[in-house]
Amino acid sequence: MSDHIKRDPSKNRRALLLRFVWGGLGVGLFAVIGFILPAPQSLLDVLSENGFVDQMIRWGIAEDVHQAAGKTMLVLGIICMAVVFFATEALPIGLTGILMPIMAYFLELLPRSMIGKTFAGDAPMFLLGVLAMGVVVVDVGFHKRLAAWILGWTKGFLLPIFVLCISMSVIGSFISAHAMCAFMTPVMMAVYFGVVTAGSKGGPIKHDPALAKFLLFTLCFALNVGGVGSPAAGGRNVIMMGFWDGYGVPMDFFTWMKYGLPMVPVLGILVAVYMLVLFTRKIRKENRNLTPGLEAIKRKNKEMGSLTYGEYVTMGMLVLILGLWIFGGKKLGLGGPSLLALLIPVVFRVTHWKKILSGISWDAWLMYCGALTMGALLKESGAALWLAESVLKILGMAGISAGFGLWVGLSAFSGLMTNFMSDAGTTALLGPIIIPLSVMSGHPAEPWASGLSVAFATSFAHFLIVGTPNNAIVYGLGVYQDSGKRVIKPVDFIKYGFILWILSLVVVWVVGFLGVFSVVGFPADILETARQAMESGATAGPVEAGH
């Protein structure tokens, strides 16, 4: 039985009115920022001194500094409007995603070829393949095998959740968290459906939206926080290591782990405790025990017998794609291997092509592509650099320009920025600014400490759906099996993720900055070596890295 309920007409009218209000707020913010507010002098200086004006003139989208600043103000207005739209669904999120390149085209904010790349680059192809992968895993029933293998040995309510959070955060430190999210989201929905089926005792399915959201957000947040553990967790970490190389103070893989990995299980436990406190009372009493669902999945697994042909092909496909992600390096990227999830199941007659196309969450994909356009607009217009320099000036005026205060300020700002643009983009933007700034602060832990503070915080894209592919994946793949209705709304990320974002930063500040940094320490000569490299002008930019 579907969980669709006929809505009261008055509720529909209220929902429509709310959408109109939020839409008006978004458009109003865009109009005020983009067309009414004058560009501050500090913005004009940033655009002139860092080559953004010359770049826009070369592109033919501005003729002088004032027109360039006008374009940047339009970008800032678009970003504010998009955040309101994404968070409130004043427009469907896929439509908001399409709105980003449309506005970039008609307002001439970027060259046309650059706008098109945000919908056809490696990152969009990666997410498209991952969403297709989730469809195939569910269609052949392989998600039930995964559920039995990973969580089948656990019982009760607390143990499965703590096992999930700790294991996913640690695994997410070493292999693609986005891949694990694609594999595990159907697993979480299988566990959910087993629980509510058992709780319904043979009658019509009584859905428990709180339980479904609890399982999906727990998975998503646990994978997000694993990004601090090692350089393998994401391109942002490799980019920061590239900046250190340019200043003559390289950090190796194991050294990064000494600083980051001790925080991972703590962050995993934080996610478990936070989600349990937040959701336990909202979940129906009969569903506060995952054992019936896990047992039902194990029984179903036994009934399925040996692995089927389709499951063998699917498992081989997952192993192949994961191997290509790990060993393919920069030559293959992430998008190319991911697209095999559209090809292999059809060629080997595992899934029908039309079923894959109909099962992909195009809303989630278009939303993420729009977010990439937002990131490109922020970066190429100079808006992101102006925001970063403005924040750093405020930190300096507040007297927290060195040591612990600087690390807290940098992590808070980079953690905020990563919810609006990619983690790699945030790190690539802030690295050239904060590395020399930290060296000039004279603290003996620099530039490693400030670099780590930025890279760590960019793992915490918890509160906006556009912050990371993990968020888009659980949104796109998290659907009720019987009705196809989506479990999560974009505003849920703000409701449940914002406080966790703050708590995650606090763990980094206390456990990382005050604990691990003090215990592990820093090489005695890194500050002087970096200072000499900076004075000699022999610094280099970051190495190229994928998302």
Q: What pLDDT is recorded for position 392? A: 78
Quick check: is 443 in a domain? no
Mean pLDDT for all residues in the chain: 86
Mean pLDDT of 319-330: 78
**Quick one: pLDDT band at residue 442, thresholds 50, 70, 90?**
confident
Question: Considering all CA atoms of the chain, what is the largest pairwise distance in Å, rounded to the nearest integer?
Answer: 76
Mean pLDDT of 355-366: 87
Same domain, 271 and 296: yes
Kindly report, residue by residue over 133-170, the tens digit of the pLDDT: 888 888 888 877 777 777 778 889 999 999 999 999 99
Same domain, 244 and 99: no
Same domain, 261 and 364: yes
Quick check: is 337 in a domain? yes
Same domain, 270 and 339: yes
Instruction: State the residue range of the domain holding 49.
Output: 8-118
Quick check: is 56 in a domain? yes
**Quick one: pLDDT band at residue 497, thresholds 50, 70, 90?**
very high
How would you class 138 by CB atoms within 10 Å of its CB: exposed for 0-12, middle for 13-18, buried for 19 or more? buried
Q: How many domains does the chain have?
A: 2
From 118, 143, 163, the end of a domain falls on 118
- Give the SS3 label for residue 48: helix
Mean pLDDT of 331-341: 83
Kindly report, residue by residue over 470-493, the tens digit of the pLDDT: 898 999 899 998 888 899 998 899
Kindly report, residue by residue over 409-439, the tens digit of the pLDDT: 999 989 998 887 777 778 877 887 888 888 8
Q: What pLDDT is recorded for position 8? A: 59
**Quick one: pLDDT band at residue 462, thresholds 50, 70, 90?**
very high
Q: Are 311 and 141 in contact (CB under 8 A)?
A: yes
**In what helix (H) or strand (E) does residue 192 lie, and over which residues does it extend?**
helix 177-200
Quick check: is 380 in a domain? no
Q: What pLDDT is recorded for position 545? A: 36
Same domain, 134 and 208: yes
The residues with which 486 forms a beta bridge, in sequence order, are 479
Instruction: Report how far apart, in Å, the C-alpha atoms of 473 and of each of 219, 470, 480 are.
Output: 11, 5, 15
Same domain, 276 and 205: yes
Q: What pLDDT is recorded for position 278? A: 96
Q: Are 334 and 546 in contact (CB under 8 A)?
A: yes
Same domain, 271 and 130: yes
Decide which of 44 and 481 is more confident: 44
Q: What pLDDT is recorded for position 366? A: 87
Kindly report, residue by residue over 251-288, the tens digit of the pLDDT: 888 899 999 999 999 999 999 999 999 999 999 998 99
Quick check: is 399 in a domain? no
Same domain, 114 and 244: no
From 99, 118, 137, the end of a domain falls on 118
Same domain, 274 and 243: yes
Quick check: is 391 in a domain? no
Same domain, 327 and 359: yes
From 67, 83, 118, the end of a domain falls on 118
Same domain, 354 and 484: yes
Same domain, 470 and 515: yes
Is pTM beyond 0.85 here? Answer: no
Quick check: is 3 in a domain? no
Kindly report, residue by residue over 174-227, the tens digit of the pLDDT: 877 887 888 889 888 988 998 998 887 777 888 999 999 999 999 999 999 999
Distance CA(187)–CA(168), nearest Å, equals: 13
Quick check: is 61 in a domain? yes
Kindly report, residue by residue over 87-102, the tens digit of the pLDDT: 787 888 889 889 999 9
Distance CA(384)–CA(368), nearest Å, equals: 19
Q: What pLDDT is recorded for position 299? A: 78
